[in-house]
Amino acid sequence: MIDEKGSENVSVVIITVTCNNNGGQPVSMQNIKEVSELAKKYNIPVVIDAARLAENAYFIQQREEGYKNKSIKEITREMFSYCETATMSSKKDGMVNIGGLFVTKNEDIFKMAQQLAIVHEGFITYGGLTGRDLEALAVGLQEGCDPHYLEYRINQVKYLGDQLEEKGVPIVRPTGGHGVYVDGRRFFPHIPQHEFPSQRLVTALYEEAGVRAVELGACAFGSKDPETGDPIWPEVETMRIGISRRVYTNSHMDVIANALGEIYKNRDNYKGLKLVYEGPIVSLRHFTAGFELL
């Protein structure tokens, strides 16, 4: 793509750790390093979307050769040595309930960000987060890298995945770091993608058990041909069950698994959805869309 479009037309290369779109799967250190080397060759900055940096580091430690005896913090430091800038939604591995981070090694970008902050949140000394929230984030970043916490966190997600598999529910394997992804097309094979099978599963789970999940499929990733206006359907068609940190016990996971197991047994009784509202920006419609049951 760089050769086709020209490196001057590629502003940044973004690496998301872990990848939210494909089951919360980790990115290997080798991948991060090689992408960084490629970008450097063409003088393109690398930006890491670091919301789940600790979970990604844990998977590298557990799975990648040469990292078994390295600490989570050592692995994290190496990950960030390969990028110029990083962004972070702190509600993930920052372990807090609000806020985010923007950090960069580029002083020119830093100065630009300071000015943009004035427009979007307030002056650099008082905008964005309160002192209390900044202090909580400083603690949360440390706690999020604790190996015992990460072991429990990752294994709770795996526990739910194993429970669902025992009931025949089709999921993305292996389970990732922050949630379990149910394959909407395999779950509801009789519901075509233009009738939003994963979104139907979201509503079914809420109807059955009061459990909220989110669609990552036809609504979230669908788009339109800029010339014809025809819909373009994505390859990904899943429902994500994101697991909040330090909130749920495995008994809560059992409730989810039992509910989805019952829905799966009766899956032939479900029909799809009709999109009735999407908002003016199609790429953001999964936050505002409205549906009717068919």
- For the chain, domains (ranges, CATH) are 1-144 (3.40.640.10), 147-293 (3.90.1150.10)
Computed from CA positions of residues 259, 207, 192, 184, in that sequence, does the dihedral angle turn out positive or negative? negative
DSSP alpha helices (H): ranges in the chain? Answer: 2-5, 29-41, 53-63, 72-81, 107-120, 131-143, 147-166, 184-187, 197-209, 218-221, 250-265
Give the gyration radius of the chain's Cα atoms. Answer: 21
Place of tokens 């799975």: 63
Q: Beta strand 100-104 with 179-183: parallel, antiparallel or unpaired?
A: unpaired
Q: What angle do CA 45, 235, 26 make, to 5 degrees?
A: 50
Phi-psi region of 290 (alpha: psi -120 to 50; beta: other; left: phi over 0): beta
Tokens of 65: 């050769």
Place of tokens 């630009």: 112
Tokens of 260: 């989805």
pTM for the whole thing?
0.89
What residues are paired with 49 via a beta bridge? 16, 87
CA dihedral 93, 172, 254, 144 (to 10 degrees): -10
Other Cβ atoms closer than 10 A to 45:
18
> How far apart (Å, rounded) are the C-alpha atoms in residues 55 and 234?
26
CA 193 to chain centre: 21
> Going residue by residue through the chain (294 aa), what tens digit of pLDDT does each one get?
999 999 999 999 999 999 888 888 999 999 999 999 999 999 999 999 999 999 999 999 999 999 999 999 999 999 999 999 999 999 999 999 888 889 999 999 999 999 998 988 888 887 778 889 989 999 999 999 999 999 999 999 999 999 999 999 999 999 999 999 999 999 999 999 999 999 999 999 999 999 999 999 999 999 888 889 898 999 999 999 999 988 999 999 999 999 999 999 999 999 999 999 988 888 889 899 999 999
Q: Average per-residue pLDDT in the chain? A: 94
pLDDT of residue 75: 98
> How far apart (Å, rounded) are the C-alpha atoms in residues 34 and 44?
13
Q: Beta strand 273-277 with 290-293: parallel, antiparallel or unpaired?
A: antiparallel
Tokens of 113: 């960000």
- Is-cis flag, bond preceding 203, omega within 30? no
